[in-house]
Structure formats: structure tokens, C-alpha cells
Chains A and B, each alone.
Chain A
Amino acid sequence: MKEETLVSALTFAAACFMAVFSLAPFLYMFATSFSASPDYLTGGFNFTLANYSDVLGVRSLHFLDYLRNSLVVSFVSSAATVLLASLAAYAITRLEMKGKAAILLFVLAVSMFPQVSLIGYLFRVMTELDLINTRTALVLPYIAWILPLALWILVSYFAQIPKELDRAAVIDGCTKWQVLFKVLLPVALPGIFSTALLSFIFAFNEFLFALMLTTDYQSRTIPVGIALFQGLHGETPWGQIMAASTLTTLPILLFTLLFQRHIVQGLTRGAVKG
């Protein structure tokens, strides 16, 4: 009896520690964003909404531009990625072809390359094509960069759908495309949703490509925007940075809370299962 109480107390303490460990920096961010100056820990806290009104209201800070770029780029990349990966996963799990293992391994190996070994060449190609500082310049490499992960997740989802389902569909008169669109994709929908979520997060968080291939607010994404954030005045505008970070983080936070099951499923498929 005593041991059980001790164990549950320890468990509770551990759970609290985990929550604090994970969330404390965000609380700090949140508090700072409402403070007139960042030294409130020692200097006293003055509540203000000025940081938010600056970030949202002052056009030259371009926060909303960055946010829009990020959303557009991430959305397009993740949609395209899921579509292309679904087609490939279908062929790999369902059609007779040689070199399936080779394709999967090639794609896996490719996903492990360091981004820095691509950016020099990509920068040049995008310059040649006159695409530097456009969203297209980000979307194209993002798709390629996220595809391997998406493919692995979807292959594992598709492989788990019983083959009899395809056979039944063929007997019922479906063509290959109908099998894919009327049976497999709808059945794999939860998996596709997980994959889309993860792809979105990956694209949204990407930094190095965005840093190299964009030059200003016309295509710059949120991570780079916040990393390079210049205030209206000389010194680091911590209040505004934290306000911008909060505005970016809150939706992701809600997103994660809502869809954690899907995210976890996708992550585990991509990494553990194969």
C-alpha cells in the first residue's frame, strides 16, 4: 500500500516535471511578449499590448507577410507531397514492379543528406531560373525534401490495408485508378491526414533553404523572419520577437493538442515501423 502511494507520487512528480520542462520556455515567451521591457524578472513587470500592435500593425516589420508566405509554402508543399507520395506508395505496395526495395532505400538514403550540400547548387539554379526570392523556389525543394518521409509513412499505411480489399474492388469492376481513388485512398485517409500534418510541420519549420533562397518579405518564411527580426530601433526588440513567436506558436500549439494522435502515429510509422 505504502509503496503504491510512493510510486504514484513519483509518477505525478515526473509528469509535472515533464510538463514544466516542455512548456516553461513558452510561458517565458508568452510573459515577455506582454512586457514593456524584457528585463521584467529583475526590473518589474509592466503589462503592455504594444508588442502585438507593433507586430500586427507596423507594415515594415512584415510579420504578416512572413506568416502568409509560410502558410502558402507549407500548404502547397504538403498537399503536393501527399499526392505524389500516395501515387508512389500505391505502386510500391500494390503493383508488380521491379526495384521496389531499391526505390525505398534510395529515397531513405537521400533524406539523410545534409541540406547544406544542396543549397549552393539550388541557389545557383534558382538564380538562373530567376526564381530567387519567390515562393516557388521554396516549394520545389521542400516537396523533394519531405517526399521520402511521406513515402515511408504512406507505404507502411498502405501495406497494412488487406490485399483482399483491392481484389474485391477489382472483382466489383474497378480499374487500377478506381481501386486507388475509391478504395485505397479513402481507407488510408487517417494515414494520409497524419502524413499531411507532418509534411506541413516539416515545411513550416524548415530553415536553411528558406534562409538561402529568399531575400526579403516577398517570400521569406516565419522561421527566417523571426531569426533575422530587426526592430524599429537599434537593439534586439525582444518584446516584438516574442509577440511574433507567440502569434506563430499558438496555432501550432492548438494544432498539436488537437491532432497529437495523428502526429504521433505518423512519426512512429516513419521512424519505427517499416
Chain B
Amino acid sequence: MKIHLNGVQKTYSTLRRETEVLKNINITVEDREFFVLLGPSGCGKSTLLNIIAGLEPVTGGEVRFGGRLVASVNKKDFVQPKERNVAMVFQNYALYPHLTVFENIAFPLRIARAGEEEIKSGVEKSAEILKISGHLQSKPAELSGGERQRVAIARAIVRRPDVLLFDEPLSNLDAQLRTATRVELKKLQRELGITAVYVTHDQVEAMTLGDRVAVLKDGLVQQLDTAIGLYERPANRFVAQFIGFPQINLFETEVKNGTFSLCGADFPAPAQAPSGPVWAGIRPSDIELKDAGPLNGRVDTIELLGRDAVLYVSCGRLEFAILSERKDFREGDAVRFSLNPGKTHCFPRRP
């Protein structure tokens, strides 16, 4: 199912003021795509997901499923969630605490007045896919967090929805389980061949899961690209900072005649860089330690990550984070380094 969001706007009005949560969102989610909405809290990503689900109306623009109009400013265009054939997985699982696992999964089918046979086979199949067949008679309270999330997913897929929506489904799981479930989710989506829209604030989840990722902030799409595209060609300073770990180095400087200077050394600016005041950015992994490097500094702090280490190196009044495989440095050591050519970014800055 292809989803079109055309100029979607959402404004909440209370007696005192109006809050514009989504300003002008234009996104097309391709059929069978795993699409991720990424952004910090309050950026409007969950609201957008609710709009796709049909839990909230839009106050501007329109939403189309395939060719079908499902929401627009006109209230009579609004299509209820159950007519959209979507399913949703929530952060806190939203399982019905008074029902057994079996009845939780069966719930959407019962509401749709499916026959007993169909319900039984549907539930068993979903439970099998999610490996929770042994828990069907338990109540949600008796399950672990990971098992609950599986039940929630089983409930979501039992009706064979056209679109699967995820609202930060892994946030309540511990780190290990999160990684394992992430891999399974992607596999599940591929096997079922369903369009998925996934909301998260975690850039690692976004990068690993998403065929494409839309970065949202202040109700606007900052950039829509593949994970690699976001990492290598951030469209603005916000995206550059939000994506990638350790965080990108950013320094205030100016572009003059196609070059900018840092710590007294000049570097060529990227081809499309604006002239004038800029934020110059370089990822920690794109800085190379070498004795012939144009920059020199002193190691302030070392963070060991396992395979790599992050060195925080001060150079004049600037501090660079540098990702290095060498772990034999000590605090106070003098180092020389260079910036990999072609890996620098320049974003316009208000002086």
C-alpha cells in the first residue's frame, strides 16, 4: 500500500492559543517500504503517525492510501481506522489487561465478527510467527516486556493489515532485547510484505531499520533520504548533529574564496558550500591521526568504545572528537591530525 501525505498540517487549538504541530508535510511511502520517522520528542512524529492511522484528523492537506483519499480538511473525507486496514504497535504495548493473550490477539477479529474457526487459526498462526504459542492462556501481566511486545505485534498482524504502524515499539525494552527484536522486526516486515511506518527518536533504530528515513523537527521534514544518505550528505546542521555517533564536530568559521580555516590551517570547502559565516562539520571518523597532519593538539580525554576509542583533542580554543583504532594514547599526549578531504560539511550560520 502506497501512502501519500500531501501538505499535511496539524494545529491544536485550545482556548488560549494555537499550537502548530505539523506545518507542511509531503511524504510518499512506497508500497512494501520500511519507512522511518525520526526526530526528537515534540517534533510531531507521533502526531503524524496518528494521522496516518486515522486516530486524528488533519487540519490541512490530505492523506491518500493508494489512490483513495482517507483524510483531508473536509471532515466527510475522513476514513475511520478500521476502514483503512491499518494496525499499530505501541510503546507501552497497549495490551488489554483483562484478556488472555489469545483473546488479545483475537480481539480485532472478534470486533470484525470473524467466525470461531477463522479466529482460532488466525491467532495460532500469528502466535507461531511471533513464537508465543506457549503463552496463549496467560494474562499480559504474567509476561515479560519482550513477550508483551510480541503479543502486541501478533495482534497487529492477525488481521493481515495493509499498513503496519509502529510508535516507538522498542523503547521500553532493555538494550539487548531491543537489538534482537529490531532484527526480527525487519525480517517480519519483509516476509509479510507489508508497508511499515516506524516512529522513533533513536537514530540507530532508524538507520538499521529504515529503507528510507524522514528526519522531523518543529513540524517540518528536515531531510528525507536513505540512512547512508543522511549520514553522508546531511542537509542541514540539525540532521548532521542528530545522525551519527560519536556526534559530528561543528565549528564556527567563515568560507572565503572556497576555503575555511580552523586553528590557523586552511581547508577546501565543499563545492556547494555558501560563502560567509558557516558551521564547518567533520565526523569523528573522518579525521585521521598522522604525523604530517596540518593540525596539532593535546589529548584531553579518552573514551574507550571497545574496538575503537574516541579522543577528545583540544586545538587552540576548539575541541575535536576523533575516532581512532589506536588506544595507546594517554591524556596530555600531543597529536597531529588531518581532515579527510571531501568529507567536510558547511552549513550557513547566522553571524
- Interface of A with B (CB < 8 Å)? 162, 164-165, 167-174, 178, 182-183, 186-187, 189
Contacts and interface: CB of A to CB of B under 8 A. Distances in A.
A182 B104 CA distance: 12
Contact of B94 (A165, A174, A178): A165
B350 interface: no
A171 to B, nearest CB: 5
A189 B98 contact: yes
A173 B81 contact: yes
24 contacts: A162-B92, A164-B91, A165-B96, A167-B50, A167-B55, A168-B90, A168-B96, A168-B155, A169-B107, A170-B81, A170-B82, A171-B53, A171-B54, A171-B81, A171-B82, A172-B87, A172-B107, A173-B81, A173-B82, A173-B111, A178-B111, A183-B96, A186-B96, A187-B96
Given A165-B96, A171-B55, 19 more contacts: A162-B94, A167-B94, A168-B88, A168-B94, A169-B96, A169-B107, A170-B82, A171-B53, A171-B81, A171-B86, A171-B87, A172-B111, A172-B155, A172-B159, A173-B108, A173-B112, A182-B111, A186-B96, A189-B98
B90 to A, nearest CB: 4
Interface string B289-301: 0000000000000
Contacts of A182: 111
B88 A171 contact: yes
B55 A170 contact: yes
Interface of B: 50, 53-55, 81-82, 86-88, 90-92, 94, 96-98, 107-108, 111-112, 155, 159
B98 A187 contact: yes
A8 to B, nearest CB: 36
Contacts of B88: 167-168, 171
Give 8 closest A-B pairs by Cβ, nearest first: A173-B82, A164-B94, A168-B94, A172-B108, A173-B111, A186-B98, A164-B90, A171-B88
A167 B82 CA distance: 12
Nearest to A170: B81
B15 to A, nearest CB: 8
B88 to A, nearest CB: 5
A167 B87 CA distance: 11
B50 to A, nearest CB: 8
A165 B108 CA distance: 13
A186 B111 CA distance: 16
Contacts of B111: 172-174, 178, 182
B97 A187 contact: yes
B29 to A, nearest CB: 18
A223 B231 CA distance: 77
Nearest to B98: A186
A170 B84 CA distance: 12
Given A172-B111, A174-B111, A167 B98 contact: no
A121 B132 CA distance: 63
B140 to A, nearest CB: 11
A35 B86 CA distance: 73
Contacts of A168: 88, 90, 94, 96, 155
B302 to A, nearest CB: 43
A182 B159 CA distance: 19
Contacts of A189: 98
A178 B81 CA distance: 14
A213 B245 CA distance: 76
A182 B97 CA distance: 12
A233 B98 CA distance: 57
Given A172-B155, A173-B108, A178-B111, A167 B97 contact: no
Contacts of A183: 96
Q: Which of A165, A167, A172 has the most CB of B within 10 A?
A: A172
Contacts of A174: 111
Contacts of A186: 96, 98
Contacts of B90: 164, 167-168
Contacts of A165: 94, 96
Nearest to A172: B108
A164 B53 contact: no
Contacts of B55: 167, 170-171
A168 B98 CA distance: 14
A56 B135 CA distance: 54
A99 to B, nearest CB: 11
B77 to A, nearest CB: 18
Contacts of B54: 171
Nearest to A163: B94
A146 B183 CA distance: 55
A104 B88 CA distance: 33
A174 B82 CA distance: 8
Contacts of B86: 171
